[in-house]
A and B are shown apart, each in its own frame.
Chain A
Amino acid sequence: MSDVLEIVDLHAEIEGKEILKGINLRLEKGELHALMGPNGSGKSTLAHVIMGDKRYKITKGAIFFNGLDITNLNTDERSKLGLFLTFQNPIELSGVKLFTFLRTAYSVHFPNDNKTFQEFITFVQSKAKLLNMDTSLLSRNVNEGFSGGEKKKSEILQMALLKPKFAIVDEIDSGLDVDALEAVAKSLKETIYTEPKMGSLLITHYMRILKYLSPDKVHVLMNGKIVMSGDYGLALKIEEKGYEWIKEKN
């Protein structure tokens, strides 16, 4: 069966404030969609809600994965089904080595994979090198003292190891300088396009990353709603004119 992630009329709130106001979105296997929109429009909220962050309350609507209603599933179960989120602000885990983190995550996803310790090291190091990542990060605490670029690469490395069916990539491009951005975008492309190609929802409000990855579709989120969808051309138009014209249209 072909993989599908489908979001139907999704409403969600936090602390009594409605942030998502009826989102509809359908992502098919191997598709790359860009989700754009001004700051505070609800992009990260959507990402977290898809992943099952319990701090948000879903008040209406549903999320389906291959026809299965996952609206009330725990986060770890969603992960095991094949959903993944790279965090806009990756969280620091004091005292937890990145390597230990990766190995534990890998072992819950692939319980029957019996790589030895040494084989796993080699495996991780080869992935890390592919992403042009400094392997010394593996023996540091997760995200602690990582630079912006290192954090983002570490997110991509996790994604590369777990091989999800759908990845939600939240502002992997924010806070990076031009060189770091290019490196991150390349690694991301490498990871997404490695067969079998992942489906992905690429959240950004900049154009620059989309130049590296060609999205199949572009959606614009404003004030908790997808107000416009189109092709790559829409992204180009936003780069040129900003979001104002869309606001005016609505």
Chain B
Amino acid sequence: MDKREELKDIIPEKNYNGNFVTRARYPHVFEEGLSKSVVEEISEIKKEPEWMKRFRLRALEIFNSKPIPKWGPPLDLDFNKIRYYVLPDEVKARRWEDLPQEIRETYERLGLPEMEKKYLSGSVAVLDSEGVYANIKKQLQEKGVIYLDTDSALQKYPDLFKEYFMNIVPVGDNKFSALNGAVWSGGSFIYVPENVHVDLPLMTYFRMNLQSEGQFEHTIIIAEKNSSVSYIEGCTAPIYNTSSLHSAVVEVYVKENAKVRFTTVQNWSHDIYNLNTERARVEKNGKMEWVGGSLGSKVTMLYPSSYLVGEGASASHLTIALASENTWKDNGAKVLHLAPNTSSKVISKSISMKGGVSVYRGLIRIPKGAYNAKSHVQCDALILDENSKNFTYPHNEVYEETSTLTHEASAGKIGEEQLFYIMSRGLTEDQARSMIVLGFLDDVLKEIPLEFSLELNRLIKLQLERYGGTG
């Protein structure tokens, strides 16, 4: 029997409904706007080493020199209407009890402490610009596993940090990676030593609490030889009616024979621009898995990439994107097969409803010499009404004769007879639609960690069961 069906009854629901405001203290909330002095002040508040301050300033120059990308969704985003640093409280707790009450209650409401106890090896909480909480199980710490907010990692492990920071994602990669280089703050830093397996996932919860806020987290994951780790990020924010910006950089280093799974459950409110750069470098026989549930935000641009640099390296990219009213989801995947016998699998499922736009943009590159590389791409779209749209732009560059690439794509609507059949069993039209949509997503939902597949299941149901309602 399907395990998910059973767990549905057991697992508490609440983890990603984040529409409420935390009344934190806020010792530092910057005015809106970006300048050299804003960047310097961030670095000074954080008491960073000189090299980092210089790095940030150089990044700002690169950011200013690059135009806004025009090939994607409309970005009518005013960079001067964003606060680039928001400090909720000067706290770095290792126990939930040590957090100020308001902040602790926020995470209790989101269910993080309970999750940590039951399913996680550790968790980090990033509120606005800073990590406020970080904890990892003692046994893992003793084995040398590091799990901290990224700022603390810079302070405590400067050499390790310097080696991997903006390495696979160079600062000038794109306009938003440069922005992140200039004003980055918070994020997760994970280091797993050789031969260590982190059995339960690590989870970082990102939360943006104020309006017109920018969150520029920078996450770095390093999995040494023969190690494994699964990382989950959850994202929520209360609803405002001014635009906010979340622009992250994620860098994942998968060494020989190591395995990393990176799961995102993104449920930002519908006023957030979510523009991220995520990339993994995968060495010999390493495995990288990207799992993304993209439910919220106003505009999302996210194309996790896997650079398969070692022989036998593999990547899997599973994405679910839901574009509802006034939202544009630009999702995709990029895989570079840079060694022989590398393999990749991309499954993307998009749902467009209530006038939402979903886009799949993908790139698979197999250059000459990547003997026997294999790639399979499947992108399916479900369009729920006349006003909604889906576009698919797969891009395949194959130059190696011994490689194989297969590509499947489908775009469909919900059949009236399917709705009628389900409704004849007593489900309302909205419930029936939701059932069909979840069925459409099943290929992906069944492959991701149980608790998160259930959580996604619930969030999607919630959105769809309001389908016939307002809006």
Interface residues of A (CB under 8 A from B): 48, 51-55, 74-76, 78-80, 84-85, 87, 90-91, 93-97, 99-101, 103-105, 108-109, 116-117, 121, 138-139, 141, 158, 162
B439 within 8 A of A: yes
Chain B 403-445, CB within 8 Å of chain A: the 1/0 string? Answer: 0000000000001111011111111110110011011111100
With contact pairs A53-B420, A95-B440 given, residues A139 and B1 touching in the complex (Cβ less than 8 Å)? yes
Mask for B213-229, Cβ within 8 A of A = 1, else 0?
00000000000000000
Contact B5 A93 (CB under 8 A): no
Given A91-B417, A91-B418, A108-B431: A97 in contact with B425 (beta carbons within 8 A): no
Interchain CB contact (< 8 A) of A108 among B9, B427, B440, B442 = B427
Asked if A80 and B2 sit within 8 Å, CB to CB, the answer is no
Report the bound CA distance from A225 to B426 in whole Å. 29
In the assembled complex, 21 residue pairs joining A and B whose CB atoms fall closer than 8 Å, in A order, are A52-B423, A74-B429, A76-B424, A76-B426, A76-B428, A76-B431, A76-B432, A84-B424, A85-B424, A90-B421, A93-B435, A94-B439, A94-B440, A94-B442, A95-B439, A95-B441, A95-B442, A96-B435, A100-B2, A105-B427, A117-B9
| Cβ distance A248 to chain B, nearest Cβ, rounded Å | 36
Taking each of B418, B427, B429, which has the highest tally of chain A beta carbons within 10 Å of its own beta carbon? Answer: B427
Do residues B424 and A99 form an inter-chain contact, with CB atoms below 8 A? no
Known contacts A74-B429, A162-B425; A97 and B435 CB within 8 A of each other: no
Tell me whether B142 is interfacial, beta carbon within 8 Å.
no
- B443: A residues at CB distance < 8 A: 95
Assuming A76-B427, A96-B439, A105-B425, is B416 touching A55 (CB within 8 A)? yes
Report the Cα distance A117→B441, complex, angstroms: 23
Question: In the assembled complex, which residues on chain A have CB atoms less than 8 Å from the CB atom of B416?
Answer: 54-55
A87 contacts B421, CB within 8 Å? yes
Partner of A116, one of B2, B9, B436: B9
Which B residues are in CB contact (< 8 Å) with A80?
Answer: 426
In the complex the two chains form, is A99's CB within 8 Å of B5's CB?
yes
Inter-chain CA distance A93–B1, complex, in Å, is 18
Residues of A within 8 A of B386 (CB): none
CB B29 to nearest CB in A, in angstroms, measures 46
Interface of A, secondary structure class, is: helix
Does chain A have a CB within 8 A of B97? no
Judge if B6 is at the interface, Cβ distance under 8 Å: yes
User: Which residues from chain A contact B420 at a C-beta distance below 8 Å?
Assistant: 48, 51, 53-55, 75
Query: Are B6's CB and A93's CB within 8 A?
Result: no
Contacts of B432 in A (CB 8 A): 76
Cα(A51)–Cα(B442), bound, Å: 29
Question: Which of A79, A93, A99 is in CB contact (< 8 Å) with B423?
Answer: A79
Q: Are B421 and A104 in contact (CB under 8 A)?
A: no
B424 near A104 with CB under 8 A, answer no
Interface centre among B5, B417, B438, B442 (most CB of A within 10 A): B5
Question: Which residue of chain B has the shortest Cβ distance to A51 in the bound complex?
Answer: B424
| C-alpha gap A28/B332 in the complex (Å) | 58
Give the complex CA separation of A95 and B415 in angstroms. Answer: 15
- Least CB distance from B2 to A in Å reads 6
13 more A-B residue pairs beyond the given contacts A84-B424, A94-B442, with a C-beta to C-beta distance below 8 A: A76-B431, A76-B432, A79-B424, A79-B425, A79-B426, A85-B424, A91-B421, A96-B435, A96-B438, A99-B1, A101-B425, A104-B435, A139-B2
The minimal Cβ–Cβ distance linking B212 to chain A, given in whole angstroms, is 40
Choose one: B5, B417, B418, B438; the contact of A117 (CB below 8 Å). Answer: B5
CB nearest to B4 among chain A residues: A100
Query: What is the CA–CA distance of A138 and B443 in the complex, to the nearest angstrom?
Result: 18
Contacts of B2 in A (CB 8 A): 97, 99-100, 139
Given the complex of chains A and B, what is the CA–CA distance between A116 and B8 in angstroms? Answer: 11
Q: How far is the CA of A139 from the CA of B4 in the complex (A)?
A: 12
Q: Known: A95-B440, A96-B435, A100-B2. Is A105-B417 also a contact (CB below 8 A)?
A: no
With a CB–CB cut-off of 8 A, which chain A residues contact B418?
91, 93
Complex Cα gap A71–B173 (Å): 62
A158 in contact with B425 given A117-B6, A139-B2 (CB within 8 Å) = yes
Q: Specify which chain B residues have a CB less than 8 angstroms from the CB of A48 in the assembled complex.
A: 420
For B423, the closest partner residue in chain A by CB is A75
1/0 contact string of B387-417 vs chain A (CB within 8 Å): 0000000000000000000000000000111
Distance of A93 Cα from B440 Cα, bound (Å)? 9
With both chains docked as a complex, state the minimum distance between the C-beta of A119 and any C-beta of chain B, in angstroms: 11
A198 to B: closest C-beta gap in Å: 16
- A100 near B5 (CB under 8 angstroms)? yes
Contacts of A78 in B (CB 8 A): 424
Q: What residue in chain A is nearest B7 (Cβ atoms)?
A: A117
Residue of B6, B416, B420 with most chain A CB atoms under a 10 A cut-off? B420
Contact A96 B421 (CB under 8 A): no
CB distance from A126 to the nearest CB of B (A): 15
By Cβ-Cβ distance, the 3 closest A-B pairs, closest first, are: A95-B439, A95-B442, A75-B423
> Closest CB of chain B to A105's CB: distance in Å?
4
- A93 and B439 within 8 A (CB): yes
Separation in Å of the A49 CB from the closest CB of chain B? Answer: 11
A135 nearest CB neighbor, chain B only: B1
List the B side residues contacting A162 at CB < 8 Å.
Answer: 425-426
- For window 428-470 of B, CB contacts with A under 8 Å fall at 428-429, 431-432, 435-436, 438-443
Question: How many whole Å from A1's CB to the nearest CB in chain B?
Answer: 22
Question: A117 — nearest CB in chain B belongs to which residue?
Answer: B6
A103: which B residues are within 8 A, CB to CB?
5
A93-B428 Cα distance, complex, nearest whole Å: 16
Q: How far is the CB of B60 from chain A (nearest CB, A)?
A: 47
Q: Complex Cα distance A21/B425, Å? A: 27
Q: Which residue of A lies closest to B425 (CB)?
A: A105
Shortest CB–CB separation between residue B337 and chain A, in angstroms?
Answer: 30
Contact B436 A96 (CB under 8 A): yes
Closest to A103 in B: B5
Q: Which one of B9, B436, B441 lies within 8 Å of A93 (CB-CB)?
A: B436
Please give, as numbers and ranges, the residues of chain A lying within 8 Å of B440 by CB-CB distance. Answer: 94-95
**Chain B residues near A105 (CB-CB < 8 A):** 425-427
CB distance from B13 to the nearest CB of A (A): 16
Q: How distant is the Cα of A101 from the Cα of B418 in the complex, in angstroms? A: 13
Q: Mark B45-82, 1 if CB is under 8 A from A, else 0.
A: 00000000000000000000000000000000000000
- Residues on A with beta carbons closer than 8 Å to the beta carbon of B427: 76, 104-105, 108
User: In the complex, A108→B434 CA distance in Å?
Assistant: 14
Given A104-B435, A108-B431, A116-B9: A75 in contact with B441 (beta carbons within 8 A): no
Q: Are A93 and B422 in contact (CB under 8 A)?
A: yes
A45 to B5, CA, bound (A): 35
Residues of A within 8 A of B431 (CB): 76, 104, 108
